[in-house]
Structure 1
Amino acid sequence: MQNDIKKALEVLKSGGVILYPTDTIWGLGCDATNPEAVQKIYKIKKREDSKSMLVLMENPALLERYVDEVPEVAWDLVEISTTPLTVIYPGAKNLAANLIASDGSVGIRFTKEDFTTRLLQRFRRPIVSTSANISGEKAPAFFDEISEDIKEQADYIVEYRQDDVIPAQPSSIIKLGPGGQIDIIRK
C-alpha cells in the first residue's frame, strides 16, 4: 500500500488522475483544488461539467476550510453515520470552481477506508471522488468491472484492493439547506 500511496501522491501533485479504491466504489480522483485536473475527469467520464462531483476528506475538522458555514446538523450527521454518507453543503470555497455546483454547493464525504485515509493525510487537500465509469453507464461494483477505456485514461491505477470482489455500494447522499433543512437525495 505504501508504494501505491507514494505513486498516487506524485500523480495528484502533478495534476493527474488516479483510479483508486474508496470506502464505496472504485473512483477516479484528482486534486479537488486544481481546475485543470478536475476538467480531465469530466473529459474521461464524458460528463458535462455542469454535473458536479463530490470530494473526499479524511477529517471533519477540515470542513470549514472548504465550506463557508457548516450547519450544526452536519456535525451530528457526520458523527452518527455508520455507512458512507455524502453531505452536500452550501457555500463551497477553496475548491476548483468547476467542481462547485451552480448553486454554490459541494458534496463532501469523510472516508474511513484505510487507503484513502492515508492518501488524504499525506496529500493534505481533498480529492475528487467520482465513480470510475462513463457518465450514464452503470457504476462498477468492483475493479474488474471498470472499462478498459477508463483504465487507459487514468494516469495511475492503484494496485491495492484490485482483487477485492465484495460488491460495493455508492454512498447515501443528503443535501443541507437553509435553517437545517435536510433533503435525502439517495438512500
Structure 2
Amino acid sequence: MDIIDRAVQVLRQDGLVVYPTETIYGLGGDALSEEAILKVYEAKQRLLSKPISIAVSSEEMICWVARVDDLAGEFIDRFLPGPVTVILPAKKVIPEMLTVGLGKVGIRFPDHPLALQLIDRFDAPITATSANISGGRDPVTPEECRAPHDLLIDGGRLPGTPSTVVDLTSMEIVRPGAMLEEVAGFLAGAARK
C-alpha cells in the first residue's frame, strides 16, 4: 500500500493528514465530516469563528461544492490549478462549521501531484489550511508541521509563499500571496468590463 492509499484510509476514519502543495504544507481532514473538521480546528488551536478553506482536485468538484458564475468560471480556467484560493458561494453539501455561517467557502485547487492524487483517490474535498498552530509560521518542510496529525506525506522543501485569496463574490483580494500581480490584473480587467 502506498502513502496515498494510507492517507486515504486515515481520511476515511476522520483522521488528519499533512500534505504538500505548491505553496506550503496543508492539514487535511474530510471536508464533509464535522468530526474531522472539529479535529482540524483543535489541532490548529484555531477559533471556531474563523472559516477553513477546502481543497479539490477538479473543476467538477468545485462546481459540486460551490456556485460558479461566468466570471468565476473564467477566473478558475485561467488560474486553477494553482496557488490561488477562490471564495465562492457554498452549496448545501458544505458543512456550516467550515463556512461559519457566512454562506461562502474558500477553495484551493492545488497544482501539486501528491495533493491532487490524495484528493482524487479520496474522491471528496479535504480541508486546506496550513499544517501549523494558528498564527505560527507557514510550514515549508515536514519538520515545521507543528499541528498534530495522523500521517504526513513528505514532499520535501516547498516554495513557502502562501496562496493569494480572492473573494470572487466581491472581486476583492482578501490576502495577497503567490501570483498576486496576475490576479490583480484579472480583477482590474473584470472591473472595466
What TM-score bracket applies, with the shorter chain setting the length?
0.7 to 0.9
Instruction: Give 1:60-139 correspondences, 5 Å limit.
Output: 60-67=59-66, 69-81=67-79, 83-139=82-138
Name the CA distance, whole Å, in 2 between partners of 1:101 and 1:175: 16
Partner of 1:99: helix, strand, or coil? helix
Instruction: Give 1:131-170 correspondences, 5 Å limit.
Output: 131-147=130-146, 150=147, 153-158=148-153, 160-161=154-155, 164-170=156-162
Who is 2:167 aligned against? Answer: 175
Change (3 A) 1:166 1:121: closer
Partner of 2:2: helix, strand, or coil? helix
Residue type of the partner of 1:81? F
Residues 175 and 182, structure 1, Cα contact 8 Å, conserved in 2: yes
Residues 48 and 100, structure 2, Cα contact 8 Å, conserved in 1: no
Name the CA distance, whole Å, in 2 between partners of 1:166 and 1:61: 27
Residues 34 and 97, structure 2, Cα contact 8 Å, conserved in 1: yes
Cα deviations across residues 113-169 of structure 1 (Å, max 9, x unaligned)? 10111111111100001101111122123223223xx2xx211122x31xx234321
The total of aligned residue pairs comes to 175
Tell which deviates more after alignment, 58-67 or 30-39.
Answer: 58-67
Who is 2:18 aligned against? Answer: 19
State the shift of 1:9 in Å: 0.5
TM-score of the pair, normalised by structure 1: 0.87
TM-score of the pair, normalised by structure 2: 0.84
What 5-or-longer segments of structure 1 have no aligned partner? none
Structure 1 stretches of 4+ moved >4 Å: none
Identity rate, percent:
34
